[in-house]
Amino acid sequence: MELADKVCLIAGSSGAIGTSVAALFQHQGAKLVLTHLTSKTPETVIDEHKCNSQPFEFALDITDWQDVQDAVSRVIAKYCRIDILVNCTGVLGPIGPTAELSPDEWVRAIGVNLIGSFYLTRAVLPPMLAQRAGKIIHFSGGGAAYARPFCTAYSSSKAALVRFTESVAAEVQESRIDINIIAPGPVYSRMWNQMREAGDKGGKANAEELKKMEVEPFLPVEKKLIAWSIILGVVLLGFLVWTSYKFFPAGH
């Protein structure tokens, strides 16, 4: 199995993407460390009888720096290393005209999508640098690639996360640590439901996008794993690992 005995920390393991990544990594033989904020990873996702060891799962608030440090310390104490971090956390944040948004909700979305991602990266880098090996994967979104009116917290935080990932990848490229960010595309998830519930508050573009997604079928997250397994396999196993820095060299 390609990830046999690799210690894989999956943050946000109870969401649509997190549960699918956990199932894929279990199939590949990884030692799973699963974290969640409010609800545990569904038992139907992880078959403990097929795991090299029982998944190590606990609650984690990625917006709390002390909590993140303690979580990484727990993993190091148990396994003496962290080979892979997959950050599946994320929130859509408030939807609506920026002039009417709650500042607290807006800042909270930045706290989860950007600051929380920094905390996770910051916490796992020292042990990865010490072992001179590691993989970090974040997930971006549509808001990172183009303007997303009425979803300014989401688009701003995801765009910033892309640049953060590129920048850190350039810093550690000589240390055998690969950092990548993947745009998963439309996924049936909690965010999908929030977009639908927002209705007219999301603006015309949001309504048109939802209509298109309803009419034109797209792969549910489980089937996307077929494609993701190829991407993650490339990223994680080093067959063709290029950091974001190599895709976007300085000056471009």
Active site residues: 154
Give me the residue label for tokens 């962290």: 82
Tokens for 74? Answer: 């727990």
Using alpha carbons only, what angle is made at residue 229 by residues 226 and 232, rounded to the nearest 5 degrees? 150
Give CA–CA dist 199/33, Å, rounded: 37
